[in-house]
Amino acid sequence: MGSGEFDLGDLLTDVVARFPEPVQANIVVNLESNEALVAGDRLRIGTVIRNLIDNASKYAPDSTVRATVSVQPDGILLRVEDDGPGLPAGAEEIVFDRFMRLDDRLSRETGGVGLGLTISRGIVQAHGGLITARRLAKGVAFEVRLPASDHEALAHVLHGSTP
């Protein structure tokens, strides 16, 4: 699997580079720190990033998507936001429910089945983190907070032991 220590900023850059060029053209990546090390499964965290950017490109297709990685006092923050139509009031929590699709204009073929955010929440929680949705004046921001890597946490992830 992809377990180990990795730089979340590098992963974000790699994931964005794999999107089709029209999607890439609307994505602004901002790395606010030189090194944002997390311990965990790089492949699975990459899935979270892909899901968040994919959601923004589907639900806010003509908006700019800003993806930021920064080191915070409580860990590493990944923030993906857009300036699209946003979320209805009170939808910040239900967007993570299975099969939830807030935009009826998108079919299952174009909008998915409503599992991306549910899967993302499970992955983030399995890494000891938290994912939240926040309504903005214009658009929505998804914030993923992951613990910063340390040797004790890394040993736990790699060897399945308790710290």
- CATH number at 131 reads 3.30.565.10
- pLDDT-based confidence at residue 103 (cuts at 50, 70, 90): low
Dist. CA 150–CA 68, nearest whole Å:
22
For 102, the domain range is 3-159
- Among the residue ranges 55-64, 93-102, 144-153, the one predicted with the least confidence is 93-102
Q: What is the mean pLDDT of residues 79-107?
A: 73
- pLDDT-based confidence at residue 88 (cuts at 50, 70, 90): confident
In the chain, how many domains are there?
1
What pTM was computed for the model? 0.82
pLDDT top residue among 29 and 33: 29
Q: What is the mean pLDDT of residues 129-158?
A: 80
